[in-house]
Amino acid sequence: MADITKHTKKSSVLISAAFLMATSAIGPGFLTQTASFTNTLLASFGFVILISILLDIGAQLTIWKVLCAGGMRAQVMANKVIPGAGYVLTSLIVLGGLAFNTGNLAGAGLGLEVLTGWSPKWGAAISAAIALLIFLRKDSLQWMDAFTRVLGLLMIALTVYVVFKASPPLSEALQRTFVPATIDLTAIITLVGGTVGGYISFAGAHRLLDAGLIGKENTAAVGRSAISAILLASVMRVLLFLAALGVVAKGISLGTTNPAAAVFKEAAGAIGYKLFGIVMWCAAITSVVGSAYTSISFLRYNERAETEKSNQKWLVGFVILSLVIFLIWGKPVTVLLLAGAINGFILPVALGIILLAAGQKKIMGDYQHNKWLTLLGVLVLIATLYLSIATLCKLVN
């Protein structure tokens, strides 16, 4: 009986980590990004999604497996590879997470505005209060797990309905997924950064570390959880793609103001627009929770009891500060653009450090990282580094 209970608990944590990572990835930007690329690439966007999924899996498997096999958080491992690197990584994660959390609260406010007509600032305040209620509970991790699971499944279910109403050309979508009419490398790299960039790639891995799933013996299960996380996020990506394709295939442009909202409205009318409000809010509030949890996990360099007690205070402070920034400046476009550039550098920097750690026996013990995964990780590192430099150059010019 004890073994069954232990196995059930372990399975639950693995599923929760997958949902935490997936819902962290599916934020307001994720919705807009998917609709915008479908509007320009049409059915060939399916190929972009396919390649990005393979690259995402490569990055996630490396990060999750190496961190869990080594039994330490990313910032601790980074300090062991290059002294001081962990503090640099922490700064990038926390600053980028704070800026994007401000955007997530803005998205939550917009979602509630669609549903209720309330001001986005009121909606953001209500959403922040909900996040605080989760973090203030003694069993906050269990509440966070349940919250991300329920809202993640709700987003998928509602988007399935919109896909049905949009009636996309499925045969063309399938064909162009494997034989695209056009290949957009920038779109591929952008999707990889949007799915596993910034704090997102560490969300599930740090959740597993908090649950004690460490050591070489757990890497197979950790790997399955990582793949599940990418597939969950990808299911939502594919559904949004099909819904958008169904609209643009009828000759309707999604525009540039709010292409994701246009998909839901054009596909399902007034009801669809309300559904967009629900999906937008779910995407935003789960990203608020995921961003806060992961960003604050980077401030923890040991497992002392007092660190656990202060963790709750840091989480509350992080959410409140994000809300204050939004309430004072509205939607901080300049901050978000700068955070985007910072966020883009996080994945190649962190992935590079973790790949270095994977080859050091003093850190990893007898764990041997798969050579093919290492090669794929290097490919993702090069691709995301290229996009980061290109994005930074655009901002400077």
Domains of the chain, by residue range, sit at 2-396
The CATH class of 2-396 is mainly alpha
Higher pLDDT, 239 or 214: 239
Q: Following DSSP, what letter does each residue of 156-182 receive, concatenated?
A: HHHHHHHHHHH---HHHHHHHHHS-S-
pLDDT digits (tens, 9 = 90+) for 226-248: 999 999 999 999 999 999 999 99
Segment holding 299, helix H or strand E: none
Burial class (CB in 10 A: 0-12, 13-18, 19+), 273: middle
Higher pLDDT, 392 or 259: 259
Q: Are 74 and 356 a contacting pair, CB within 8 Å?
A: no
Across residues 273-293, what is the average pLDDT?
92
pLDDT digits (tens, 9 = 90+) for 80-133: 999 999 999 998 888 888 888 888 898 898 899 999 988 888 999 999 999 999
Across residues 259-277, what is the average pLDDT?
90
Higher pLDDT, 310 or 148: 148
Is the pLDDT reported for residue 350 higher than 80?
yes
Higher pLDDT, 51 or 384: 51
Among 387, 300, 295, residue whose Cα is nearest residue 102: 295
For 343, the token pair is 């966020």
Distance of CA 254 to the CA centre of its chain: 24
Confidence of residue 306 (pLDDT cuts 50, 70, 90): very low
Q: What is the DSSP letter of 26?
A: S
Segment holding 250, helix H or strand E: none
pLDDT digits (tens, 9 = 90+) for 318-347: 999 999 988 887 654 455 555 555 666 778
Residues 6 or more apart whose Cβ sits within 8 Å of residue 134: 140, 143, 144, 147, 289
Can you tell me the distance from the alpha carbon of 48 to that of 192, in angstroms, rounded to the nearest whole number?
10
Among 22, 9, 13, residue whose Cα is nearest residue 56: 22
Can you tell me the distance from the alpha carbon of 360 to that of 163, in angstroms, rounded to the nearest whole number?
48
Burial class (CB in 10 A: 0-12, 13-18, 19+), 80: middle
Among 335, 284, 280, residue whose Cα is nearest residue 131: 284
For 142, the token pair is 């269990």
